[in-house]
Amino acid sequence: MNHDKRDAAFGEMSEQIGPELYPDHKVPAVNEFRAKRPFIKSVVNSVVLGLVLLLFAQLPGCGGQDRITEQQAYTIGLQAYIWGSPLVSNSNRFARFSTVTELRIANHTLPQSPINQICFLSDYVTADEHSIVAPNHDTIYGSAWLDLSAEPIVIRIPDMGRRYWIFEICDFYTDVFASPGTRLGSPPGNYLVVGPTWNGSVPPGIVQVIRAPTHRVYCLPRILLKGEDDLPDVLPLINSITIAPLSQMDTAPTYIDYAAVKQVEIPNFLPNWVPDDTFWDTLHAAILDTEPRRGEEGMVSSFLAILNMRHDPAVQAGLAAALAEGRKLVEQSGSFGNLGEKVGNGWTLLRTGGRFGSDYLTRAAAASSFIYYNLLEDAAYYLQVYDADGNLLDGAKSYRLHFTAEELPPCGTDAFWSVTLYGSDHFLVPNLAGIYNIGTVTEGLQYNSDGSLDIYLQNASPPGLESNWLPTPGSGIFELTLRVYIPGENVLNGTYVPPSVTPVQ
């Protein structure tokens, strides 16, 4: 696909995209892309959508010409890539879990279970894991893939008391359609998750029926852990969270010792969930096996029409160019410096996480770097890669994050906030102190006499202020995530702005 043909469809978009942003860490390039990203989103989500529907009428079998051109395949293929990459990612994840035959923990960090079963970690994610991108260090994770095509699934939740918990459930497009937990005051008991067409009878003992929009869904529960000393209290609660098909509701185990499940080592386990070589085949199969979202039927039909002709030479060439361009757009949009909207002081916040609507570029970007976003009202994730001077955060330097009493992150009752440090690859950075985040539940956190709080980001421990220390890697670029669980109204209405990260000598 030459640039003349591409620009015929997209005007000046090729000039607007700019250079690759990571791993070069060039601040001007990042800032340029962020400034122009709204234009790119507008083109991708609006203009291209219009072209897709227009071109659909011209496809063979739709009253149009006999053959599809390379340009048409490129135009529809680019939108198909951006729209479909989360679907491909989930398809490959579901296929991987479909091969699991028992509860197990992979590489000490990734709970895995057969379809329609659940597994939990029994501690925080460790810093040597490279399976979960940007994991929190506040909660214990669980994981479950459900297939609701045969029958509903029962989720058993014990009485959590005042402990923070959430049971996030995402559809196959990565939107959150249910999140029982602390925010909603969800009661203990049995939750029935049913497929989109199920119309059976609800048995006694069900506290809530949750209808899924797709028959394949992913569950990502999280339960607060307040340090290692809290494990004796939290593990019995986690062990009481189980799931089972409705037909086994009265016979399946109601208590599982997840700390005792099998540990397995999977060498070099860092899957590419959206590989180029199988992308179009996987997307074609996923579309056929996933319930369409309302209002997208015509657009998806155009994708299928192109994919049905994907072995035609002209279509192959157009789809190859679309894949390369789409991947670049998604990767750039998904970097920590670009994901979400700028809220001030260098921080960004994705306000539409888990509820993306027709913003397909943001949905794809989030799936590439921070898949299974919470709804904003469940947890706000503020991302930071810059200091107060506009330079990328550097592990060789020292910084201070100063919250005035009025700037402390606002969170709801029985909720909390934390700041977690990651390397430029979005994973935890090992350190000898074993400290990976700091926040509300940090033991011994020292507030100033006026109610303000200082967090010290540096490689060496600050004498006398160890409780307020978040270790940096000593060299290389790093990133910060401020998580505010059950955020307050000023987060929800967009008026809260976290303070700058200030360099210190």
Provide the pLDDT for residue 313. Answer: 96
CA distance 93 to 470: 33
Provide the pLDDT for residue 29. Answer: 40
Give me the chain's average pLDDT, please: 88
Q: Which domains does the chain have, with CATH numbers?
A: 3-92+273-330 (no CATH), 103-260 (2.60.40.1610), 376-504 (2.60.120.600)
The set of residues, in sequence order, having a beta carbon less than 8 Å from that of 133 and lying 6+ positions away, is 369, 370, 371, 426, 427
Q: Looking at the predicted structure, is the pLDDT value of residue 28 above 90?
A: no
Across the range 72-91, mean pLDDT stands at: 97
Across the range 4-32, mean pLDDT stands at: 33
Provide the pLDDT for residue 13. Answer: 30
- CA distance to 147, 215, 372, 439, 482, per residue, from 415 (Å): 31, 32, 20, 11, 14
Contact 109, 76 (CB under 8 A): no
CA distance 444 to 291: 50
Which tokens go with 320?
Answer: 């190859």
64-73, 273-282, 322-331: least confident range: 64-73
Contact 73, 259 (CB under 8 A): no
Q: Is the dihedral of CA 390, 394, 400, 404 positive or negative?
A: positive
Q: Is the pTM above the cut of 0.85?
A: yes
Contact 487, 378 (CB under 8 A): no
Question: Residues 117-160: pLDDT tens digits?
Answer: 999 999 999 888 776 778 999 999 999 999 999 999 999 999 99
Question: Residues 246-257: pLDDT tens digits?
Answer: 999 999 999 999
Across the range 231-247, mean pLDDT stands at: 98
Provide the pLDDT for residue 43. Answer: 46
Across the range 348-352, mean pLDDT stands at: 96
Question: Residues 82-98: pLDDT tens digits?
Answer: 999 999 999 999 999 99
Q: What is the CA radius of gyration of the chain?
A: 24
37-46, 285-294, 315-324: least confident range: 37-46
Contact 261, 104 (CB under 8 A): yes
